[in-house]
Amino acid sequence: MAEHRAMQRAALLDAARSLLSQGGTDALTFPALAERTGLARSSVYEYFRSRAAVVEELCSVDFPQWAADIEAAMQQAAGPEEKVAAYVRRQLELVGDQRHRAVVAISASELDAGAREKIRAAHGGLIAMIVEALGDLGHTQPRLAAMLLQGMVDAAVRRIELGAAEDPTEITDAAVGMALRGVVG
C-alpha cells in the first residue's frame, strides 16, 4: 500500500513537472493533474492539499537533485577556473531538462512564503557552491561575485529558454567566457 502511494505521488509530481514546463504555473491545476495521472480529482487532494503544496514538494525533490548535478560537475573540475566554467556550463546544459523548466516556471510565479523560502534556500545553496572557487581566484568579495555570476547564468538561462537567435552552445560559451574573463572578451 505504501509503495503504491509512493508511486502515485511520484506520478503526480511527474505530471506537475510536465504541466509546469509546458504551460507554466497556470497549467498546474488539480483537474489537469487528475487527467494526466488517471486519478480522480478527489484523490489528488489526498496527496496534496493545494497547488502550493505541489510546488513545495517539487522544490524539495528537484532542487537538491539539480544542485547535486551541478556540484558533481564542479567536483570533476581541476582548478578554480575550471570549477567556475563547470558551474556555468552545467546549469546551462540543464535548461532543456523538464525538471529545470518546471523549476523556472515555479520561480517565475506567485508563490506562497513556504515555496519562496525553499527556492531562496536552493539558490543560496547554488551560490554557496561557487563562493570558494571565486575566493581561490582572488575575489575579495567572493559571495557578491557569486551572486552576480548567478545573475548572469540566470540571464543566459532565459536567453536559451526564449529560443534566442543564437544556438544554446554559443550562449553557453559566451556565458563561460564572461564568467572567466568578464566583458573584456
The predicted pLDDT at position 185 comes to: 59
Residues of the chain with pLDDT below 50 are none
Give dist(CA 62, CA 164) in Å, integer.
26
Q: Give the pLDDT confidence score for residue 20 in this predicted structure.
A: 84
Give Cβ neighbours of residue 108 (< 8 Å, ≥ 6 apart). Answer: 24, 25
39 close to 8: Cβ distance less than 8 angstroms = yes
pLDDT reported for residue 34: 94
Residue 21 near residue 101 (C-beta atoms within 8 A): yes
- Cα separation, 79 vs 101, whole angstroms: 30
What is residue 98's predicted lDDT score, i.e. its pLDDT? 67
Helices (H), 38-185: 41-47, 51-75, 80-93, 98-107, 113-136, 142-161, 168-181
